[in-house]
Amino acid sequence: MEIEFPLEFIVLGTPVSHQRGNRRAKAEWKQLVKDASQSVLPDAHFATDRPLAVTLFYFPNDKMDGDVDNIIKLTLDALSQHIYLDDDQIERIAVQKFEPDRVFTFSAPSETLVTCMLGQKPALYIRISDDLHEDL
């Protein structure tokens, strides 16, 4: 079955850095991402071969330890062969952290994004779209 885009889901927990995490922590993070995506995917789906754009918004429960760019690789690796065939299909990545002491606004947040903003922290909001010019 084909995947319908955009997909949005939330991963509860602190992303693991590809550079700093141990092997077990890396595997656990990747499984957590994959498990979180299951709720928005059809049963018996096929990984897409289309070009994609990915948005990652991280909501830590305190000031973020580490750099925001370090959460990208393991998160994308978790989705490869599951949602898309290979990470070379990713043509655009938008990543941002939203620490509690920073003020931010969204003009038209989705229901999933609102749930993430108001819900349990730390949390990573993930949106995968086949519209490469979305929000540009």
Tell me the pLDDT of the chain (136 aa) as tens digits: 899 999 999 999 999 988 776 899 999 999 999 999 999 998 888 999 999 999 999 999 998 888 888 889 999 999 999 999 999 999 999 999 999 988 788 889 999 999 999 999 999 999 999 999 987 6
Instruction: Supply the CATH number for residue 122's domain.
Output: 3.30.1330.70
This prediction has a pTM of: 0.95
Is residue 134 in a domain?
A: no
CB of 83 within 8 A of CB of 3?
yes
Is residue 1 in a domain?
A: no
- 128: tokens are 């995968």
Is residue 135 in a domain?
A: no
Is residue 80 in a domain?
A: yes
Task: Determine the Cα–Cα distance for residues 95 and 25; give it in Å rounded to an integer.
Answer: 21
Q: How many CB atoms lie within 10 A of CB 45?
A: 14
Owning domain of residue 65 = 7-129
Q: How far is CA 124 from CA 20, 24, 46, 51, 85, in A?
A: 18, 20, 24, 22, 22
Question: What DSSP designation does 61 have?
Answer: S
Q: Check residue 65 and give its pLDDT.
A: 81
User: What's the one-letter identity of residue 9?
Assistant: F
